[in-house]
Structure 1
């Protein structure tokens, strides 16, 4: 028994030495803000399901911005965001409409399926029509969103120095092929695409057609983190974690081998970027670092991307934390 115990202690010591961040040099760089939907009207995630209308459950507005508009994206960059996440649908007239919902009924004064509606018609809608913080008593954004649904082309032209994480809302492979063609004809826009994610078919098609572009879907995320959990303690990084975007829910992060610094160094060595989310509770991967107290989940010397739904709050707070640490 003593021999077995001694061997076990040696194994544990080796695992600790291979994975402790106490003996690892943090990767260089500072944390970067990834603004989900730009700056937008937020809502409680409690009870939200895939088809829940979230426009009719927003919190009392703190600002006038509507998600996925050029104004909201510009405001996010002004608040310190390095990347803005946006949602796209390929319309029948071959435009990428930048809009979150699968249907128009929740947020707009229109009806029908977004991807089945021509962009010419989408441009006539009021995308602020359905927002209400008080169960329909008031609609503070009606009229303010008229004609404000942009195309992806308009976003690229309006914000030439911005970088964007593009979320495919469908499983149509042609969306990925169309984005690849768009960037082939406009190579100046390629540097604006930080990455792609969402529907597996369009995501994987885009990655196949655009060498060097990073992206992820649910399957690739599970493959990376699942395999890393199985044998990452050895220092071996699974191929599924190479040259990609790795989303890490903050409540799972402490259980990753080598978190934070050794894990970050391993991922950087294989060409990948880390996106730190808020706590994952079984729904979509959109929970963010959204409150001042949430910044405790961002490790000191973290050099990846911080996903937030409140760039206007977290951007300045993170900037102050960085300034304080450098004094």
Structure 2
């Protein structure tokens, strides 16, 4: 029994030495900001399901920005965001509409499935039509969002210095192929695409067709993190964690071998970027959205911090607004 105990202690000591962050040099750099949907109207995540109309449960507005608009993205970039996340749908007239919802009924004055509606029709809609913070007594954004749903091409053109994480909302492989063709004809836009994620079929098709591009879907994330939890204590990084974007919900982060510094060093050596989110629970994962949430960001963290409140988190991380002032915040 003594020999067994001694062997066990040796194994535990070796595992500790291999994985402790106390003996790992933190990767150089500061946290980077990933602004989910730009700067936008936020809502309570409690009891939100896939079919919940979140525009009908926004908090009282603190600003005039609507998600996935060029104004909201510019505002996030002006406040220090390094990457802006946006959502796309490939329309029948072969354009990428930048809009979150699968259908139009919640946020707009239109109806129907977003991807089945021509961009020419989407351009006529008021994307602020359905927002209310008081159960429908008032609709503060009605009339202010008409014509404000952009195409992906318009985003790239209007914000040439921005970087974007593109979320495919469907499982249509042709979306990935279409994005690859778009970037082939406009190579100047390639540097603006930080990565892709979402539907597995379009995500994997884009990654297949665009060498060097990073991205993830549910399956690749589970493969990376699941295998790393299983044998990452050895120092071996699973192939699924190489040259990719690694999503880490902050409540699961302590389960990762060597979190934070040793894990970060291993992923950096594997050519991957870490994106730290808020706690995962139910169908949704929250962001790092308040001063209290920043306690979830490790000291010396140099990855990306996913936030729904770039306007709040950016100054807390030492970012300063650009000299330009966006008009939408003064309306």
Structure 2 distance, partners of 1:93, 1:320, is 40
Q: Cα distance, 1:283 vs. partner?
A: 1.4
Please name the residue that 1:310 is paired with: 309
Structure 2 distance, partners of 1:78, 1:317, is 15
Structure 2 distance, partners of 1:252, 1:119, is 40
Superposed, 1:246-325 pairs within 5 Å as 246-285=246-285, 287-319=286-318
Q: Cα distance, 1:284 vs. partner?
A: 3.2
TM-score, scaled relative to structure 2: 0.96
- CA deviation profile, 1:191-222 (whole Å, cap 9, x unmatched): 00000000000000000000000000000000
The answer on 1:153 being equivalent to 2:181 is no
Structure 1 distance, partners of 2:259, 2:249, is 12
- CA deviation profile, 1:106-157 (whole Å, cap 9, x unmatched): 0000000000000000000000000000000000000110100000000000
Q: Cα distance, 1:320 vs. partner?
A: 6.8
SS in 2 for 1:315: helix
Structure 1 distance, partners of 2:167, 2:303, is 19
SS in 1 for 2:318: helix
SS in 2 for 1:292: coil
Higher deviation after alignment, 1-10 or 36-45? 1-10
Please name the residue that 1:29 is paired with: 29
TM-score, scaled relative to structure 1: 0.97
RMSD: 0.9
Structure 2 distance, partners of 1:52, 1:143, is 23
Structure 2 distance, partners of 1:260, 1:132, is 40
4+ residue stretches of structure 1 with deviation over 4 A?
A: none
The answer on 1:213 being equivalent to 2:213 is yes
Structure 2 distance, partners of 1:104, 1:94, is 18
Structure 2 distance, partners of 1:24, 1:218, is 30
SS in 2 for 1:41: coil
